[in-house]
Protein backbone atom coordinates (compact mmCIF):
# COMPACT_ATOMS: atom_id res chain seq x y z
CA UNK A 1 0.00 0.00 0.00
CA UNK A 2 2.89 2.38 0.79
CA UNK A 3 4.38 1.73 -2.64
CA UNK A 4 1.01 2.34 -4.31
CA UNK A 5 0.56 5.58 -2.38
CA UNK A 6 4.04 6.74 -3.44
CA UNK A 7 3.28 5.95 -7.06
CA UNK A 8 0.03 7.90 -6.91
CA UNK A 9 1.79 10.76 -5.13
CA UNK A 10 4.49 11.18 -7.76
CA UNK A 11 2.10 10.63 -10.65
CA UNK A 12 -0.20 13.34 -9.31
CA UNK A 13 2.67 15.76 -8.77
CA UNK A 14 3.77 15.17 -12.34
CA UNK A 15 0.23 15.51 -13.65
CA UNK A 16 -0.22 18.80 -11.83
CA UNK A 17 2.79 20.21 -13.59
CA UNK A 18 1.74 18.75 -16.95
CA UNK A 19 -1.82 20.06 -16.78
CA UNK A 20 -0.73 23.53 -15.75
CA UNK A 21 2.59 23.57 -17.54
CA UNK A 22 1.65 25.33 -20.76
CA UNK A 23 -0.31 27.97 -18.89
CA UNK A 24 2.56 28.62 -16.51
CA UNK A 25 5.33 28.93 -19.11
CA UNK A 26 7.48 26.09 -17.80
CA UNK A 27 9.42 26.14 -21.06
CA UNK A 28 10.89 29.49 -20.10
CA UNK A 29 12.13 28.04 -16.83
CA UNK A 30 13.67 25.04 -18.57
CA UNK A 31 15.53 27.45 -20.82
CA UNK A 32 16.74 29.30 -17.76
CA UNK A 33 17.90 26.02 -16.21
CA UNK A 34 19.89 25.18 -19.33
CA UNK A 35 21.51 28.62 -19.19
CA UNK A 36 22.40 28.11 -15.54
CA UNK A 37 24.08 24.76 -16.30
CA UNK A 38 25.84 25.88 -19.49
CA UNK A 39 28.78 27.36 -17.63
CA UNK A 40 29.86 30.44 -15.70
CA UNK A 41 28.51 33.78 -16.87
CA UNK A 42 29.23 37.29 -15.80
CA UNK A 43 27.35 38.56 -12.76
CA UNK A 44 25.73 41.22 -14.94
CA UNK A 45 23.91 38.51 -16.89
CA UNK A 46 22.92 36.39 -13.89
CA UNK A 47 20.37 38.73 -12.43
CA UNK A 48 16.94 37.63 -13.63
CA UNK A 49 14.93 34.91 -11.88
CA UNK A 50 12.26 32.42 -12.88
CA UNK A 51 10.22 30.45 -10.34
CA UNK A 52 7.60 27.72 -10.39
CA UNK A 53 5.55 26.74 -7.36
CA UNK A 54 2.98 24.06 -6.57
CA UNK A 55 0.97 23.78 -3.34
CA UNK A 56 -1.17 20.71 -2.72
CA UNK A 57 -2.78 18.88 0.20
CA UNK A 58 -1.51 15.61 -1.31
CA UNK A 59 1.92 16.29 0.17
CA UNK A 60 0.70 15.45 3.68
CA UNK A 61 0.18 11.95 5.21
CA UNK A 62 -3.41 10.71 5.01
CA UNK A 63 -4.39 13.69 2.88
CA UNK A 64 -7.47 14.00 0.70
CA UNK A 65 -8.71 16.62 -1.75
CA UNK A 66 -10.50 19.21 0.32
CA UNK A 67 -10.70 22.95 0.99
CA UNK A 68 -7.58 24.64 -0.46
CA UNK A 69 -6.61 21.62 -2.49
CA UNK A 70 -4.18 22.98 -5.10
CA UNK A 71 -2.36 26.12 -6.15
CA UNK A 72 0.17 26.56 -8.96
CA UNK A 73 2.07 29.67 -9.95
CA UNK A 74 4.96 30.80 -12.12
CA UNK A 75 6.78 34.12 -12.04
CA UNK A 76 9.58 36.03 -13.71
CA UNK A 77 11.56 38.69 -11.87
CA UNK A 78 13.76 41.30 -13.54
CA UNK A 79 17.22 42.39 -12.51
CA UNK A 80 17.49 45.06 -9.79
CA UNK A 81 17.02 48.56 -11.15
CA UNK A 82 16.40 47.16 -14.65
CA UNK A 83 12.64 47.16 -14.45
CA UNK A 84 10.80 48.90 -17.32
CA UNK A 85 10.78 52.67 -17.07
CA UNK A 86 7.07 52.79 -16.30
CA UNK A 87 7.61 50.36 -13.41
CA UNK A 88 10.41 52.49 -11.99
CA UNK A 89 8.18 55.55 -12.30
CA UNK A 90 5.44 53.77 -10.34
CA UNK A 91 7.98 52.76 -7.70
CA UNK A 92 9.08 56.38 -7.32
CA UNK A 93 5.46 57.48 -6.89
CA UNK A 94 4.59 54.74 -4.40
CA UNK A 95 4.89 55.71 -0.74
CA UNK A 96 5.35 52.03 0.09
CA UNK A 97 8.75 51.66 -1.64
CA UNK A 98 11.68 53.70 -0.28
CA UNK A 99 13.55 55.95 -2.72
CA UNK A 100 16.86 54.14 -2.07
CA UNK A 101 15.43 50.68 -2.84
CA UNK A 102 16.79 48.45 -5.59
CA UNK A 103 13.69 47.93 -7.71
CA UNK A 104 12.62 44.81 -9.59
CA UNK A 105 9.48 44.16 -11.63
CA UNK A 106 7.72 40.79 -11.35
CA UNK A 107 5.21 39.13 -13.67
CA UNK A 108 3.22 36.07 -12.59
CA UNK A 109 0.51 33.64 -13.63
CA UNK A 110 -1.36 31.35 -11.25
CA UNK A 111 -4.37 29.19 -10.55
CA UNK A 112 -5.90 28.16 -7.20
CA UNK A 113 -8.71 25.68 -6.57
CA UNK A 114 -10.99 24.99 -3.62
CA UNK A 115 -13.41 22.14 -2.91
CA UNK A 116 -15.64 20.90 -0.09
CA UNK A 117 -14.40 18.10 2.15
CA UNK A 118 -16.56 15.47 0.42
CA UNK A 119 -16.02 15.59 -3.35
CA UNK A 120 -18.15 12.47 -3.97
CA UNK A 121 -21.43 14.37 -3.57
CA UNK A 122 -23.00 16.02 -6.61
CA UNK A 123 -24.83 18.36 -4.23
CA UNK A 124 -22.43 19.39 -1.42
CA UNK A 125 -23.83 19.89 2.07
CA UNK A 126 -24.88 23.51 2.75
CA UNK A 127 -22.27 24.02 5.49
CA UNK A 128 -19.39 22.84 3.26
CA UNK A 129 -17.14 25.39 1.60
CA UNK A 130 -18.11 25.92 -2.05
CA UNK A 131 -16.27 24.65 -5.10
CA UNK A 132 -14.32 27.54 -6.59
CA UNK A 133 -11.33 28.41 -8.75
CA UNK A 134 -9.25 31.51 -9.40
CA UNK A 135 -7.08 32.15 -12.47
CA UNK A 136 -4.97 35.31 -12.46
CA UNK A 137 -2.16 37.38 -13.93
CA UNK A 138 -0.10 39.56 -11.62
CA UNK A 139 2.30 42.46 -11.92
CA UNK A 140 4.44 43.45 -8.99
CA UNK A 141 7.15 45.81 -7.80
CA UNK A 142 9.83 44.55 -5.43
CA UNK A 143 12.04 47.03 -3.59
CA UNK A 144 14.99 45.92 -1.44
CA UNK A 145 17.30 47.85 0.85
CA UNK A 146 19.94 46.50 3.23
CA UNK A 147 17.37 46.11 5.99
CA UNK A 148 13.97 45.55 4.42
CA UNK A 149 11.97 44.15 1.49
CA UNK A 150 8.78 45.72 0.09
CA UNK A 151 6.51 43.76 -2.27
CA UNK A 152 3.55 45.42 -4.00
CA UNK A 153 1.47 43.57 -6.58
CA UNK A 154 -1.78 43.82 -8.51
CA UNK A 155 -3.53 40.69 -9.79
CA UNK A 156 -6.34 40.56 -12.35
CA UNK A 157 -8.25 37.46 -13.32
CA UNK A 158 -11.47 35.55 -12.97
CA UNK A 159 -13.24 33.52 -10.29
CA UNK A 160 -15.64 30.82 -11.48
CA UNK A 161 -15.83 28.30 -14.34
CA UNK A 162 -13.60 30.47 -16.55
CA UNK A 163 -10.76 29.80 -14.08
CA UNK A 164 -10.58 26.24 -15.55
CA UNK A 165 -10.16 24.79 -12.05
CA UNK A 166 -12.79 22.11 -12.75
CA UNK A 167 -11.04 20.96 -15.93
CA UNK A 168 -7.64 20.95 -14.22
CA UNK A 169 -8.74 18.86 -11.25
CA UNK A 170 -10.70 16.38 -13.34
CA UNK A 171 -7.79 15.93 -15.77
CA UNK A 172 -5.36 15.26 -12.93
CA UNK A 173 -7.75 12.79 -11.30
CA UNK A 174 -8.21 10.90 -14.56
CA UNK A 175 -4.44 10.61 -14.98
CA UNK A 176 -3.90 9.39 -11.42
CA UNK A 177 -7.00 7.19 -11.11
CA UNK A 178 -8.30 9.29 -8.22
CA UNK A 179 -11.95 9.88 -7.31
CA UNK A 180 -13.76 12.05 -9.85
CA UNK A 181 -15.07 15.24 -8.16
CA UNK A 182 -18.85 15.35 -8.57
CA UNK A 183 -19.96 18.81 -7.45
CA UNK A 184 -18.29 21.34 -9.76
CA UNK A 185 -21.69 22.29 -11.21
CA UNK A 186 -22.31 24.09 -7.90
CA UNK A 187 -19.15 26.23 -8.00
CA UNK A 188 -19.12 30.01 -7.67
CA UNK A 189 -20.23 31.86 -10.81
CA UNK A 190 -17.93 33.76 -13.14
CA UNK A 191 -16.87 37.20 -11.99
CA UNK A 192 -13.83 39.40 -12.71
CA UNK A 193 -11.30 39.59 -9.91
CA UNK A 194 -8.99 42.45 -8.94
CA UNK A 195 -6.56 42.10 -6.06
CA UNK A 196 -3.93 44.39 -4.50
CA UNK A 197 -1.43 42.96 -2.01
CA UNK A 198 1.45 44.53 -0.10
CA UNK A 199 4.03 42.99 2.22
CA UNK A 200 6.95 44.52 4.10
CA UNK A 201 9.66 42.35 5.67
CA UNK A 202 12.44 43.60 7.96
CA UNK A 203 15.79 41.90 8.41
CA UNK A 204 15.64 42.55 12.14
CA UNK A 205 18.49 40.35 13.35
CA UNK A 206 21.23 38.30 11.69
CA UNK A 207 24.18 36.37 13.10
CA UNK A 208 26.97 34.18 11.71
CA UNK A 209 29.27 31.69 13.41
CA UNK A 210 32.84 30.79 12.53
CA UNK A 211 31.70 27.49 11.01
CA UNK A 212 29.67 28.88 8.11
CA UNK A 213 26.39 28.66 10.03
CA UNK A 214 24.11 31.65 10.05
CA UNK A 215 20.67 32.71 11.26
CA UNK A 216 18.32 35.60 10.72
CA UNK A 217 14.95 36.74 12.05
CA UNK A 218 12.51 38.53 9.72
CA UNK A 219 9.25 40.08 10.95
CA UNK A 220 6.67 41.04 8.33
CA UNK A 221 3.36 42.88 7.98
CA UNK A 222 1.03 43.66 5.12
CA UNK A 223 -2.48 43.68 3.72
CA UNK A 224 -4.67 42.55 0.84
CA UNK A 225 -7.46 44.61 -0.70
CA UNK A 226 -9.77 43.52 -3.50
CA UNK A 227 -12.72 41.49 -4.68
CA UNK A 228 -10.98 38.22 -3.77
CA UNK A 229 -9.37 38.91 -0.38
CA UNK A 230 -9.40 41.78 2.09
CA UNK A 231 -7.16 41.22 5.11
CA UNK A 232 -4.34 42.53 7.28
CA UNK A 233 -1.54 40.23 8.39
CA UNK A 234 1.65 40.11 10.43
CA UNK A 235 4.15 37.49 11.52
CA UNK A 236 7.79 36.42 11.66
CA UNK A 237 10.19 33.96 9.98
CA UNK A 238 13.37 32.38 11.42
CA UNK A 239 16.04 30.90 9.14
CA UNK A 240 19.08 28.84 10.19
CA UNK A 241 21.54 27.39 7.70
CA UNK A 242 24.95 26.81 6.14
CA UNK A 243 26.26 29.52 3.79
CA UNK A 244 22.95 31.25 4.44
CA UNK A 245 21.97 33.09 1.23
CA UNK A 246 20.60 36.59 1.44
CA UNK A 247 16.91 36.17 0.70
CA UNK A 248 13.58 36.15 2.51
CA UNK A 249 12.58 32.52 2.12
CA UNK A 250 10.97 30.70 -0.83
CA UNK A 251 7.86 32.10 -2.58
CA UNK A 252 4.33 31.06 -1.66
CA UNK A 253 0.82 31.44 -3.07
CA UNK A 254 -0.85 34.34 -1.25
CA UNK A 255 -2.34 34.90 1.24
CA UNK A 256 0.58 33.37 3.12
CA UNK A 257 3.86 34.16 4.80
CA UNK A 258 5.93 36.26 2.37
CA UNK A 259 8.96 34.96 0.50
CA UNK A 260 11.18 36.15 -2.31
CA UNK A 261 11.55 34.86 -5.85
CA UNK A 262 15.22 35.88 -5.86
CA UNK A 263 18.24 34.84 -3.85
CA UNK A 264 21.88 35.81 -3.56
CA UNK A 265 24.09 33.97 -6.05
CA UNK A 266 27.02 32.00 -4.68
CA UNK A 267 29.11 29.05 -5.80
CA UNK A 268 28.71 25.62 -4.25
CA UNK A 269 26.10 24.31 -1.86
CA UNK A 270 24.08 26.26 0.68
CA UNK A 271 21.04 25.30 2.72
CA UNK A 272 18.75 26.56 5.42
CA UNK A 273 15.83 25.40 7.53
CA UNK A 274 13.08 27.88 8.31
CA UNK A 275 10.03 28.29 10.52
CA UNK A 276 7.37 30.98 10.46
CA UNK A 277 4.10 32.21 11.89
CA UNK A 278 1.50 34.48 10.30
CA UNK A 279 -1.81 35.82 11.59
CA UNK A 280 -4.53 37.37 9.40
CA UNK A 281 -7.61 39.42 10.21
CA UNK A 282 -9.98 38.70 7.31
CA UNK A 283 -12.63 41.13 6.13
CA UNK A 284 -13.48 39.38 2.86
CA UNK A 285 -12.75 36.03 1.28
CA UNK A 286 -14.81 35.42 -1.87
CA UNK A 287 -14.32 31.66 -1.53
CA UNK A 288 -16.38 31.70 1.68
CA UNK A 289 -18.49 34.86 1.26
CA UNK A 290 -19.61 33.89 -2.24
CA UNK A 291 -19.98 35.92 -5.41
CA UNK A 292 -19.87 39.70 -5.16
CA UNK A 293 -22.72 40.71 -7.48
CA UNK A 294 -24.99 37.65 -7.54
CA UNK A 295 -26.31 34.93 -5.29
CA UNK A 296 -24.11 31.89 -4.81
CA UNK A 297 -23.17 29.30 -2.25
CA UNK A 298 -21.43 30.66 0.83
CA UNK A 299 -20.47 29.72 4.38
CA UNK A 300 -19.72 31.82 7.43
CA UNK A 301 -15.98 32.44 7.57
CA UNK A 302 -13.63 32.85 10.51
CA UNK A 303 -12.34 36.40 10.78
CA UNK A 304 -9.02 35.39 12.35
CA UNK A 305 -6.82 32.83 10.55
CA UNK A 306 -3.31 31.66 11.40
CA UNK A 307 -0.56 29.83 9.47
CA UNK A 308 2.44 27.99 10.88
CA UNK A 309 5.10 26.62 8.57
CA UNK A 310 8.33 24.64 8.60
CA UNK A 311 10.56 24.11 5.61
CA UNK A 312 13.93 23.42 4.07
CA UNK A 313 15.70 25.08 1.13
CA UNK A 314 18.79 23.98 -0.79
CA UNK A 315 20.75 26.24 -3.11
CA UNK A 316 23.31 24.90 -5.59
CA UNK A 317 24.98 27.71 -7.51
CA UNK A 318 22.12 29.45 -9.37
CA UNK A 319 19.30 27.04 -8.46
CA UNK A 320 17.18 26.97 -5.29
CA UNK A 321 14.76 24.14 -4.42
CA UNK A 322 12.52 24.40 -1.36
CA UNK A 323 9.75 22.53 0.44
CA UNK A 324 7.37 24.18 2.91
CA UNK A 325 4.93 22.34 5.19
CA UNK A 326 1.98 24.48 6.24
CA UNK A 327 -0.58 24.16 9.03
CA UNK A 328 -3.57 26.51 8.60
CA UNK A 329 -6.18 27.14 11.29
CA UNK A 330 -9.91 26.77 10.60
CA UNK A 331 -11.12 29.23 7.96
CA UNK A 332 -14.91 28.77 8.30
CA UNK A 333 -17.16 28.06 11.26
CA UNK A 334 -18.39 24.60 10.24
CA UNK A 335 -14.87 23.33 9.52
CA UNK A 336 -14.17 20.20 11.55
CA UNK A 337 -10.42 19.87 11.01
CA UNK A 338 -7.63 22.32 10.26
CA UNK A 339 -5.89 22.09 6.89
CA UNK A 340 -2.36 20.88 6.23
CA UNK A 341 -0.62 21.14 2.86
CA UNK A 342 2.83 21.30 1.31
CA UNK A 343 4.52 23.62 -1.16
CA UNK A 344 7.39 22.84 -3.56
CA UNK A 345 9.20 25.70 -5.31
CA UNK A 346 12.02 25.88 -7.84
CA UNK A 347 13.80 29.19 -8.50
CA UNK A 348 16.53 29.72 -11.11
CA UNK A 349 18.86 32.67 -11.48
CA UNK A 350 20.10 33.42 -15.00
> Residues 50, 28: contact at Cβ < 8 Å?
yes
> What is the model's pTM?
0.84
Q: How far apart are CA 109 and CA 157, in angstroms?
A: 10
Average pLDDT, the chain: 85
> Residues 57, 341: contact at Cβ < 8 Å?
yes
Query: Which of the four pLDDT bands, split at 50, 70 and 90, describes residue 39?
Result: very low
CA–CA distances in Å: residue 31 to residues 42, 49, 155, 269, 350: 18, 12, 26, 22, 10
> Residues 288, 332: contact at Cβ < 8 Å?
yes
Query: Which of the four pLDDT bands, split at 50, 70 and 90, describes residue 47?
Result: confident
What is the model's pLDDT at position 63? 62
Q: Could you give the percent of the chain with pLDDT greater than 70?
A: 85
Q: Is the pLDDT of residue 221 over 50?
A: yes
The average pLDDT across 52-75 equals: 86
The average pLDDT across 233-247 equals: 91
Query: Which of the four pLDDT bands, split at 50, 70 and 90, describes residue 113?
Result: very high
- What are the pLDDT digits (tens) for 148-157? 999 999 999 9
Q: How far apart are CA 343 and CA 294, in angstroms?
A: 33
Catalogue all structural domains in the chain, each as residue range(s) with its CATH number: 2-349 (2.40.128.140)
Q: Could you give the percent of the chain with pLDDT greater than 90?
A: 62
The average pLDDT across 107-131 equals: 95
Least confident of 55-59, 167-171, 186-190: 55-59
Contacts of 313 (CB under 8 A, 6+ apart): 241, 249, 250, 271, 272, 274, 320, 321, 322, 323
Amino acid sequence: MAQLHSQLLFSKIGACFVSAGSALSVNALLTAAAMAQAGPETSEKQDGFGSVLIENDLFTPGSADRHYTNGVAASWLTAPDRAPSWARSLAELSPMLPSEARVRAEWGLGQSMFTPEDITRAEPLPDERPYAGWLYLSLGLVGETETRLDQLSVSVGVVGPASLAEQTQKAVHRLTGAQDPKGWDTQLANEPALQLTYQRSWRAAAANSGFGLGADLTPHAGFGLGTVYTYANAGVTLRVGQNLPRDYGPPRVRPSLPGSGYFESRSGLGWYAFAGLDGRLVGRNVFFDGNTWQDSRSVKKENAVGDAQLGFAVQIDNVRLAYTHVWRSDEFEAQTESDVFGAFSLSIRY
